[in-house]
Amino acid sequence: MLPAVNRRDIVIGFVILIVLAIIVYWVSRPDREPAPEPTATPVPLEEVERRLEDQFKRTLPETGDKSSLRDVTGGDSSGLAVRVKVDTTTNVSVLADLPDPEAGSFYQAWAVKMVDDKEEKLSLGRLVVAKGGFSLEYSTRTSLDSYEKIVVSSEKTLDNTEEKRILEGSF
């Protein structure tokens, strides 16, 4: 003969089942990914150009390829690059609203193109302090049409190795 089951035993069994179900659910639930960080709304190129021209008290060429340079470090720096081809000469102008570089560092600009899924970089030189931030003027008889990106990096050594990317933008 089986012992009689009373109401208290049923309630205890039910509570144990609920606790076990909660534990199984908690352990087997998929890892939750953190909510994506809000991305900054891209600022129209015309607005960036107008703000930097006002800040630098300088007018950039109306023609040519233009690129808004955005901060890839999460900061609020910005810039503008303009590439103009005149006859056989290509001129690149860069205006960058950047903080003063760390002691012993400077900013360097690069033209970048993709070759076999790898970045190939051409140093455009050091940015110089200008009213309102930093600027660079680069001129060459070499075609830069295949270079689709401009990058500004923080450097300690003027060489052909990019150290820390700060700004970038595409034409």
Contacts of 155 (CB under 8 A, 6+ apart): 105, 106, 107, 108, 162, 163, 164
Please tell me the total count of domains within the chain.
1
| Assigned domain for 152 exists | yes
Q: Nearest to residue 109, comparing CAs of 123, 119, 120?
A: 123
| Spatial separation of the C-alpha atoms in residues 149 and 171, rounded to whole Å | 6
Question: Please, are residues 113 and 144 in contact by the beta-carbon 8 Å criterion?
Answer: no
Is the model's pTM score more than 0.85? no
Q: What is the pLDDT of residue 160?
A: 87
| Assigned domain for 94 exists | yes
| Assigned domain for 2 exists | no
Contacts of 143 (CB under 8 A, 6+ apart): 85, 90
- CATH number (domain holding residue 128): 2.60.40
Chain segment 4-30, per-residue pLDDT in tens: 677 888 888 889 999 999 888 878 776
| Assigned domain for 162 exists | yes
Chain segment 134-166, per-residue pLDDT in tens: 999 999 999 999 999 999 999 999 888 999 999
Task: Indicate the average pLDDT of the chain.
Answer: 85
Chain segment 29-86, per-residue pLDDT in tens: 766 666 555 555 556 667 777 777 777 767 666 778 988 899 999 888 999 999 999 9
- Full residue range of the structural domain in which residue 82 is found: 45-170
| Assigned domain for 28 exists | no
| Assigned domain for 30 exists | no
